[in-house]
Each structure stands twice: as C-alpha cells, then as structure tokens.
Amino acid sequence: MADYEKTVQLGHGSGGTMSHEIVQQVFLKHLRDPLLLALEDGAVLDDQRWLEPSDGRIAFTTDSYVVRPLVFPGGDIGKLAVCGTVNDLAMRGAIPRFMSVGYILEEGLSLQTLDRVVASMAQTAQAAGVRIVTGDTKVVDRGSADGVFINTAGIGTVPSGIEISATRAVAGDVILVSGAMGDHGLTIMTQREGLMFGGSLQSDCRPLASLVQVMLRCCPDIHVLRDPTRGGLASALNEVAEQSNVGIEINELAVPVHDAVRAASELLGLDPLYVANEGKLMAIVPDKHAQRVLGAMREHPDGAEAAVIGRVVASNPGRVVVETLLGTRRIVDMLAGEQLPRIC
Amino acid sequence: MADYEKTVQLGHGSGGTMSHEIVQQVFLKHLRDPLLLALEDGAVLDDQRWLEPSDGRIAFTTDSYVVRPLVFPGGDIGKLAVCGTVNDLAMRGAIPRFMSVGYILEEGLSLQTLDRVVASMAQTAQAAGVRIVTGDTKVVDRGSADGVFINTAGIGTVPSGIEISATRAVAGDVILVSGAMGDHGLTIMTQREGLMFGGSLQSDCRPLASLVQVMLRCCPDIHVLRDPTRGGLASALNEVAEQSNVGIEINELAVPVHDAVRAASELLGLDPLYVANEGKLMAIVPDKHAQRVLGAMREHPDGAEAAVIGRVVASNPGRVVVETLLGTRRIVDMLAGEQLPRIC
C-alpha cells in the first residue's frame, strides 16, 4: 500500500482489513480531525461552542462531484468538493463548520491520484476553516464508475439576524458579482477538448465563506446570495427572478469577463453568462448599502474584481433582461439542455 | 417527462431548465419537505426546537450506496440509503432529524426506476421520522456510472447522558444482537448469482432508530452499538475489541441465523458472521442491565429475535474468539479481502 504504483482494489471497499488499510494509509494520512480519527459510525459534535452565535440556526447542504478531468488548472475534484459545499453554506450566510465526505472509487484508480485528491481536500478545508469529521468509502468494479466521485455534505451556523434567500430580491435592489464570469467552465471545457489559449485559463475554484462574512459585517441585510455554478449567472438570475417574482436588468458591459475566457467563448460559440463558476458569487443588496458592500468586496482578495452589474426592477417579473454591448435589450432565459456535462 | 418510457438525459444535470424539470417532476413529487421545496443552496434548520433535549450535541454521518441490483427482495437502493444513514446515527444513540441526498445518475437510467427509488426514500424517511431537507443531482454520461449511486448524510440529536462509543466495552459486559445475521448479504448475493432458495431470503433492511431509543430508555448506559453492515458481525466485533482493547467471546450456537441463510451460506461457502446486515444491531451493555435490555428488544418488532451472544473479557485483548458448534474455540479475524462487492 505504501507503494504508489498500486491501485484501488475491490477489497478496499469491503469493510474489512483492506478497508482499514486504505483509511489509515490514504485518508487519515491527510484528514486528521480527532472526530474522524475516532472511526465511529458518525461524528458526535460535542463541543457546543460551535453553535454560538447562531441562535441555534444551522445550515445543511450537500453536493456530489463528478468533474472530468480530475485535475485541472486551478484545482482538482478534491478542492472542488470542499469549495462547492463551503460555498453553498456561505450562500445562506452560514459560517461553515463541519463537513462529511463520501468517496465512490473505481477499481483500478491509481492510489497516487487518490492521495493527491485527499490531500487537496485537507488543504482546502483547512483554508476554509471547516472540519472534515465523518466519511465513507465505496469501491465499484472496473467500468462501473469513472475514477472517483465525491460527495460532501456540510453543516454551518447562521449568525443572528441574517436572512438570505432567493425569495428576498425587491425592486430597487442592486446586483453585484464578486469577479469575472466563466473561468471554471471554460477551463474544464478547453482541457477536455485539448484546446490551448496561451495557458491563461484557470479555474476560479475557491472557498467564498470569508468574503461572505466580510460582506455581511458591512451589510447584515444582504437579500440574496448565489454562487453561479452549473447553468452560470444567467440561470442563477432566472431562479431569483422567479422565486422573488421580480424583474432583473443586467448591463452586459458591466459583467466582468477575463480576456482569455471571452476569446475561448467566442471560439466555442458560448455565452459566458451561461458558463459555470466555482469561486464567484452574485449578491443582491439594498441600494443604500450597495457601494459599501462593493468596497468591502474589492478589499478582499476573493472579490478584487467585484462589480455592480444590474438592478432588480418591478417590471417583467420572472424575467432577466440584458442590455447588450450594442445597446439592444434581450431576454436571457435559464440554460436549456446541457452546455457541458460533468463540469463539477 | 410524464411519459415513463423516458430516461435520464445529460441535460437533467445541467443546472438549467431540464434540471428543474426532473427536480419538480420526480424528486419533489415524492420528497415534500418545506425546506427542500424552497430550492435554496442549502437548508436552514431554523426551528430550534429540534435541538432539544440534546444539550446541543449533534451527530453527523454519511454513506454512499452503490448496491446491485437496484431492487431486491426486502428493499431497494433508496430504502437502503435512508436506513443506512438513519442507522449510523442510531448507533451513536442519536435521534435522526435531517438528511441530505445526493444522486449520481447515469444517462439512460429509466425514469420509472428513478421514480421508484425516490418514492422508496420518501416512504422510508417518513417511517423513520427523518426529514430529507436538501439534495443534489448529477448526471454522468452513459458508461461512466452504473445506473444510480446515492449518497445520504444525516444529522441527529444525542439525548443528554448518552455516551455510546466503540471504545467503551469493558470486561464483564454482555453482547447482544437484535436478530438473525446475514439476511441482507445473502439476499443480494443470491439475487446476483441468480440462485433461488425457495424465495425465503429477504433483506433485513430497516431503520433501527426506534429500537435504539427503546433500548436507551431502559438502559441509558449502553456502552457500544454497531450495525454490522459490510464485513459483518465478525468485523464489527473486531473493531470494538481493538478500539476498547478488550477480548470478546462469542458462542456460535447463540448467534441467530435463519435457516435459508444457513443453507445458502453453506452452499456458497460463506460464514454468516462475515455477511452484511442492514437492519440489525450489536449492543454491548453492562451485565446488570442485559436481561432488561434483551426483554425490551424482544418486545419491539425490530428486535423480536434478539439474543445474548457473548461477553466481553479481559483476556486476549483485541481478539474475538468464537466457541463453535462443536465446542472448539477459534479466533475470528476481521474480514480480509472482499466477500461480495457492492452489497450496500
């Protein structure tokens, strides 16, 4: 097992001695939380101080990760699996506290690859301040899965007074994004197609909980937060327009897009508004707080390219309208069909 | 989509309109929790009464499910995915409260099969008193997964005064099981091999939280609970012997095994002690409470065949010794290698 020529075997999922070996020699090599090391059927979160100062309100979320390739510029499936769940918690205003991880491994997966993925999860979790406290590993026979799939679930605490929901956008609110759109999706797509764009494309995969806490400190009354992952900014905005029953107007020129992403999008015939991000958020805030929130975002390393991109309006409820670069207006629907499978 | 000839498409995992369709027309048809219906990035558990009377101690666990076939006598992958996580919480003495579910679907999966699996999860969760409050769906291309994989994570509350851990077995404690061993594993194995044993084999898949609460009411000082899933009773006992640094002596004659399981085991050359269960538990309790706990178990429908099977001893720490049907003694190790892949 110490020999990294080795690969995952069916016995590693047996619940017997081989399971114990892979747990000890790969998972617990990197994931060192005392609750995880106890190897019980589940973790008991018995230090009650973590519940403060939440009024007992807990946020709970889950995501599975099936991205291909497993490793890409700017991240890998392990980093993504931590960031995705941390970010879902952050989008409810929660401080991420605890995380579970479930691995589904394909027989034959290189243990070196697995080691890298687990190490990446450990590093990302530490950076995000979240503890990986319970887990599970299953192994399926060769051909029945594609290397490794990861599920993470997360628990966070919602500070008192925070009420963030896709239903809370009201006419007059200002819409901001924390940075440029489309980096993750275009990176995955060009990697998979073997395209090169001067090597400048890189996933934006990162945990956003720290940025969100900074934003909430300067404006506890943020109405909506969403991380525009699958379906991109356009789909996230459509969800909010529908759930809040408001109109949304976006200025296309104001939406930050990196040059390499714009070039790759044009070549591939894609609209960056529909491309997945893994380290960006969209915020909808009361007009009177917008400039202060924008300033706070720009001072944070994860929001340096933040921008105001539009406004919530009373007209056209349920619709997202974009003023284009040419000055015309078009309706932007939710993504139909599939743009790129297995982007996260 | 209403047409059940239809199958899962890649677009169902896009995050766009097709994702919304499958969520509305399959998942939310059966899973109706208000927190899930809100379709936010995660659930905020904002009714704080659920934390009572736990002293704020929360149990958190996860498992992924990759069982084949998807449907088997006594259950299906959906029922299993709820029971497994409910049971992991119960094995810490927790009352199951909330559950997340992550689906990884293979392109081409029949929507009728998916509908059955989701309906089964909803029914089982209701029976177990646990709320499914957040979820995620990914779709992978044909050939990259095997129909459907499910991950569930669960949150439960640990009542005051309960301290259950695999480290707490002490010499003199009595070991009980809640019923017959091997039903789930032998059912899956014979289904997969196309063997018939008079149709009497059936998975024991069931939620155990109600049984555990009855046991805890009659003896709050239960030392250890484990559900002997992968690796069977033998592996669970070995884990406890190691983690508590005690010896364990089992009387083979006392371990309940159904006739059909014994017959199938003999034919297949298996030892029921190593075969997975999905609706049974092993309990280690102080000697003075053992008979009362046994009586309470037998009065509960999920413990009708409960039995005392052995004792914790000071000798041979870390070892599990079985007195055989022939009166000889043999050491029972943890399962080595793999007995049957994808049993859960």
Count CB-CB contacts under 10 A for residue B57.
22
**Is B149 close to A104, i.e. CB distance below 8 A?**
yes
Specify the amino acid at residue A157. Answer: T
pLDDT tier, A53 (very low <50, low <70, confident <90, very high otherwise): low
Tokens of A338: 């599939």
* Domains identified in chain B and CATH numbers: 3-159 (3.30.1330.10), 174-331 (3.90.650.10)
Distance from CA of A314 to the nearest CA of B (A): 22
pLDDT tier, B339 (very low <50, low <70, confident <90, very high otherwise): confident
Tokens of A316: 């056209």
Q: Is the peptide bond before B53 cis (omega within 30 degrees of 0)?
A: yes
pLDDT of residue A46: 80
User: pTM for the full model?
Assistant: 0.96
User: Strand pairing of B320-323 and B247-251?
Assistant: parallel
This model of the complex carries an ipTM of 0.95
**Count of CA atoms in the C-beta half-sphere (13 A) of B286:** 9
- CA distances from residue A139 to A107, A113, A142, B157, B343 in whole angstroms, order as listed: 6, 15, 9, 30, 11
Query: How many whole angstroms separate alpha carbon B17 and alpha carbon A337?
Result: 7
Element (H, E) at A152: strand A148-157
Residues of A in Cβ contact (< 8 Å) with B241:
none
**Is A51 close to B46, i.e. CB distance below 8 A?**
no
Query: Which residue in this structure is represented by tokens 């109600």?
Result: B210
Tokens of B259: 């006739």
- Are the beta carbons of A78 and A120 closer than 8 angstroms? yes
Query: How many whole angstroms separate alpha carbon A23 and alpha carbon A39?
Result: 9
Query: How many whole angstroms separate alpha carbon A226 and alpha carbon A256?
Result: 17
Could you please report the per-residue DSSP string of B143-194?
A: TSS-SEEEEEEEEEEPPTT----TT---TT-EEEESS-SSHHHHHHHHHHHT
- CA distances from residue B256 to B88, B196, B290, B306, B332 in whole angstroms, order as listed: 22, 22, 17, 8, 17
Residues of B in Cβ contact (< 8 Å) with A9:
338
Query: How many whole angstroms separate alpha carbon B190 and alpha carbon B13?
Result: 34
pLDDT tens sequence across B62-74: 999 999 999 999 9
3-class secondary-structure state, position B65: strand
Element (H, E) at A310: strand A307-313
Query: How many whole angstroms separate alpha carbon A264 and alpha carbon A255?
Result: 17
Element (H, E) at A177: strand A174-177
Residue in B103, B151, B338 nearest the CB of A11? B338
pLDDT tens sequence across A229-256: 999 999 999 999 999 999 999 999 999 9
pLDDT of residue A314: 97
pLDDT of residue A1: 45
Residue in A44, A149, A227 nearest the CB of B149? A149
Specify the amino acid at residue B142. Answer: R
Answer yes or no: is pLDDT of A306 > 60: yes
For chain B, where are the E strands, in sequence order?
43-45, 58-65, 71-72, 75-76, 95-106, 131-140, 148-157, 174-177, 224-226, 247-251, 282-285, 307-313, 320-323, 329-331
Mean pLDDT over all residues of chain A? Answer: 94
What integer is the mean pLDDT of A112-126?
A: 97
Residues of A in Cβ contact (< 8 Å) with B108:
none
Count CB-CB contacts under 10 A for residue B217.
10
- Are the beta carbons of B227 and B281 closer than 8 angstroms? yes
Answer yes or no: is pLDDT of A258 > 50: yes
Residues 6+ apart with CB under 8 A from A167: A243, A244, B38
Tokens of B315: 């000798």
Distance from CA of A299 to the nearest CA of B (A): 26
Distance from CA of A18 to the nearest CA of B (A): 6
pLDDT tier, B338 (very low <50, low <70, confident <90, very high otherwise): confident
pLDDT tens sequence across A183-221: 999 999 999 888 766 568 999 999 999 999 999 999 999
**Is B59 close to A42, i.e. CB distance below 8 A?**
yes
Mean pLDDT over all residues of chain B? Answer: 94
Answer yes or no: is pLDDT of B203 > 90: yes
Query: How many whole angstroms separate alpha carbon A281 and alpha carbon A296?
Result: 14
pLDDT of residue A132: 98
Distance from CA of B341 to the nearest CA of A (A): 7
Backbone angles phi and psi of B103, in degrees to 5: -105, 135
Closest CA to B2 of B16, B21, B15: B21
Which of B41, B163, B208, B224 should we substitute to test contact with A (largest number of A Cβ atoms within 10 Å)? Answer: B41
Beta-bridged to residue B225, according to DSSP, are: B283
pLDDT of residue B197: 64
pLDDT tens sequence across B30-77: 999 999 999 998 999 987 788 876 677 899 999 999 999 999 999 999
**Is A60 close to B98, i.e. CB distance below 8 A?**
yes
Residues 6+ apart with CB under 8 A from B262: B272
3-class secondary-structure state, position B99: strand
Name the packing angle between helices A209-218 and A287-299 (round to 10°): 140
pLDDT tens sequence across B81-123: 999 999 999 999 999 999 999 999 999 999 999 999 999 999 9
> Using DSSP, how many helices (H) and how many strands (E) does chain B show?
10, 14
Distance from CA of A88 to the nearest CA of B (A): 5
pLDDT of residue A197: 64
Burial of A202 (0-12, 13-18, 19+ CB in 10 A): middle
pLDDT of residue B5: 65
Closest CA to B153 of A56, A51, A154, A81: A154
Residues of B in Cβ contact (< 8 Å) with A51:
56
**Is A104 close to B104, i.e. CB distance below 8 A?**
yes
Closest CA to A209 of A165, A275, A265, A157: A157
pLDDT tens sequence across B152-169: 999 999 999 999 999 999
For chain A, how many residues are written? 344
Residues of A in Cβ contact (< 8 Å) with B89:
41-42
3-class secondary-structure state, position B129: coil
Backbone angles phi and psi of B207, in degrees to 5: -80, 140
What integer is the mean pLDDT of B175-193?
A: 94
**Is A102 close to B57, i.e. CB distance below 8 A?**
no
Query: How many whole angstroms separate alpha carbon A317 and alpha carbon A328?
Result: 20
pLDDT tens sequence across A129-163: 999 999 999 999 999 998 999 999 999 999 999 99
**Is A230 close to B94, i.e. CB distance below 8 A?**
no
Sign of torsion, CA A286 A287 A288 A292? positive
Answer yes or no: is pLDDT of B2 > 60: no
User: Between A267 and A317, where is the model more confident?
Assistant: A317
pLDDT of residue A137: 96
CA angle A340, A342, A343 (to 5 degrees): 70
Closest CA to B340 of B250, B258, B277, B263: B277
First to last CA, chain B: 29
Query: How many whole angstroms separate alpha carbon A20 and alpha carbon B39?
Result: 38
- Are the beta carbons of B214 and B297 closer than 8 angstroms? yes
Counting residues of chain A whose pLDDT is more than 90, the rounded percentage is 85
Backbone angles phi and psi of A292, in degrees to 5: -70, -40
pLDDT tens sequence across B238-286: 999 999 999 999 999 999 999 999 999 998 899 999 999 999 999 999 9
